[in-house]
Amino acid sequence: MMTRTLSELNAASVGEVVAALGAVFEHAPWVAEAAAAHRPFARVEDLFAAMRAAVRNASDERRLALLAGHPELAGRAARDGRMEPASVAEQASAGLDRLSEAEYARFAALNAAYREKFGLPYILCIKRHGRVSLLRNFEARLASTPEAERAAAEAEVLRIAAIRLNALVSGEGPLRTTGRISTHVLDTVSGRPAAGVEVELAEFVSSTESVVVARAVTNADGRTDAPLIGGRPVPIATYELRFSIGDHYRRAGFELPDPAFLDVVPLRFGVGDPEGHYHVPLVATPWSYQTYRGS
């Protein structure tokens, strides 16, 4: 995958544009071709608007084919290597390439039921969903109506395309496709940022089970050098930040009880807006703490 500037694309031939952006919409290079006719674009947003218009103005058959061309989640296309490379990466990011047999069977059943009911593959921008959210979405949409599902599926196709386009084109007015989870730790005994605090971020993959998805240590400013999740959508899920605050105060010379009143502090919070910024600080002493959704 190669990133091009918007200027380069404005100056390129139609063929070059299709070569560069043809895979933004799965198996549908005609979208890039139609948009190319409206160049030049001042902003990436404008290019995407032209692609979206191309989809909306296409014939019903083409729009249906666009949906039909999408691979199933954890489906046969994935197993048989018939997906766009971007789809392969997207499904892998959600762990769909490492399902247990039972999970694979569950997806196969859901996929079959969905295709049976709507005549289309189930489409979801999986980069925006954690495991729990993905399954809830699948079941909710299975219970929906054909009209609502056509609209829902096309909205997901556009979300997928927006993320792909942002990765392929740089320039003014990028699409808003990324969110963030960040934190900072304040030690209100010393009145200073807490440096050297180990933090881990876990995602709940079921109502009780969580997996660690990021680890960091706070710097001199009490922050992590980079967001714990950033530069991509934050999957819709319940998360837990876990701070080794007992270690911090022991290092600072406090004699804490054994076990300490506060040792590992978990802050559990839900992310419902994958493009949002979730700043979740910890303000702590050895005997108290607080958090809030910050800014």
Q: Is 260 a binder of a second copy (CB under 8 A)?
A: yes
Check whether the bond before 40 is cis (ω within 30° of 0): yes
Residue 41 zone, left/alpha/beta (φ > 0; ψ -120 to 50; rest): beta
- Chosen residue from 113, 189, 205, 213 binding a second copy by CB under 8 A: 189
Site for a second copy in 214-233 (CB under 8 A): 221-222
Q: Is 182 a binder of a second copy (CB under 8 A)?
A: no
Query: Which CB, 50 or 197, lies closer to a second copy?
Result: 197
Helix (H) or strand (E) holding 56: helix 44-57
What is the rounded distance in angstroms from the CA atom of residue 66 to the CA atom of residue 155?
12
Q: What is the DSSP letter of 215?
A: E
Site for a second copy in 99-138 (CB under 8 A): 133
Q: How many residues does the chain have?
A: 295
Q: Segment near a second copy (CB under 8 A), from 47-55, 96-104, 148-156, 235-243?
A: 235-243
Q: Is 197 a binder of a second copy (CB under 8 A)?
A: no
Please, what is the minimum distance in Å from the beta carbon of residue 94 to a second copy?
17
Q: Which of 152, 127, 161 is nearest to 26 (CA)?
A: 161
Q: Segment near a second copy (CB under 8 A), from 34-42, 72-80, 142-150, 286-294?
A: 286-294
Query: Which CB, 100 or 292, lies closer to a second copy?
Result: 292
- Chosen residue from 22, 38, 89, 289 binding a second copy by CB under 8 A: 289
- Chosen residue from 184, 216, 229, 244 binding a second copy by CB under 8 A: 184
Measuring CA to CA, how many Å separate 39 from each of 34, 77, 158, 247? Answer: 10, 34, 20, 58
- Chosen residue from 6, 186, 228, 229 binding a second copy by CB under 8 A: 186
Residue 120 zone, left/alpha/beta (φ > 0; ψ -120 to 50; rest): beta
Site for a second copy in 57-76 (CB under 8 A): none
Q: Segment near a second copy (CB under 8 A), from 28-36, 78-86, 104-112, 281-289?
A: 281-289
Query: Which CB, 25 or 239, lies closer to a second copy?
Result: 239
Q: What is the DSSP letter of 128?
A: G
What is the rounded distance in angstroms from the CA atom of residue 20 to the CA atom of residue 146?
33
Q: Is 152 a binder of a second copy (CB under 8 A)?
A: no
Radius of gyration of the chain (CA): 23
Number of residues that bind a second copy (CB under 8 A): 42
What is the rounded distance in angstroms from the CA atom of residue 292 to the CA atom of residue 295?
9
Q: Report phi then psi at 99, rounded to 5.
A: -75, 150
Q: Is 272 a binder of a second copy (CB under 8 A)?
A: yes
Q: Provide the CB-side half-sphere exposure for 181 (13 A, CA).
A: 28
Please, what is the minimum distance in Å from the beta carbon of residue 148 to a second copy?
17
Token reading at 161:
């395309």
Q: Segment near a second copy (CB under 8 A), from 91-99, 151-159, 227-235, 257-265?
A: 257-265
Q: What is the DSSP letter of 254?
A: -
Interface ranges with a second copy (CB under 8 A):
133, 184, 186, 188-193, 221-222, 236-238, 257-266, 268-273, 283, 285-295
